[in-house]
Amino acid sequence: MLPFFLKLFSNGKPPPDDQELLRLYRQTGELAHLGELFQRHSEMVYLVCLKYLKDEDDSKDATMQLFEHIAKALLVHEVNNFKSWLHITAKNHCLMLLRANRKKPSIALEDNTLLFMENPEPMHLTEAEQAEKTEQTLQLALQELPAEQRQCIELFYLQQKSYKEISTLTGCDLNKVKSYIQNGKRNLKLYMEKHHEPR
């Protein structure tokens, strides 16, 4: 079950798309716009938290904390793909909580999100600063990919679609889908390494 507060902003009208709600929130600062935007992705956030924290109550608490966090972050940072950004933010928030509690996150080698954390750096910055830096760099890296690679990467890693589903959704043949994902992953890694600031 999702936290009750996530349902408070629903007004029964057909909602604007993500980017329009994001624009309205950044323009007005009204939490109603952000609440509606967050609500439609809240189940994803909760499931990401549950995956890492392994506890329903902790995951509900983390979901509420994330709402408060993004309310501030979105007024400062430009976000082009809200769902992707929120997924990464939720994951990083959970990793910070686990580190703060001196626990080791259990991440399988097959874990899709490992794509973005293949070579984690020592945490010389504070946890919050490091997470924010990673999010910003990754968003820039995704925007630098060719459109086909970016689309396939987001469908495969963030929406967990199969090769066949991506092929159907994009109209690309299976081999091209696999090629776009492999090349996109390599290009992301190269971008992240290139824009890493020595510490």
Topology at the third CATH level for domain 1-104: Rna Polymerase Sigma Factor; Chain: A (1.10.1740)
Segments making up each domain of the chain, as ranges: 1-104, 145-199
pLDDT of residue 132: 65
CA 15, distance to chain mean position in Å, is: 21
Retrieve residue 65's tokens: 């904390």
How much is the CA Rg of the chain, to the nearest whole Å? 17
Tell me the C-alpha distance between 53 and 13, whole Å. 34
pLDDT of residue 102: 57
82 half-sphere exposure, CB direction, 13 A CA radius: 22
Topology at the third CATH level for domain 145-199: Arc Repressor Mutant, subunit A (1.10.10)
Q: What is the pTM of this model?
A: 0.47
- pLDDT tens, the chain, 199 aa long: 344 344 444 444 565 888 999 899 989 989 998 999 999 999 999 999 999 898 899 999 999 999 988 998 888 888 888 888 999 989 988 888 888 775 443 433 344 444 444 444 444 445 556 666 776 777 778 788 888 888 888 888 777 788 898 888 888 898 999 999 899 888 888 888 777 654 4
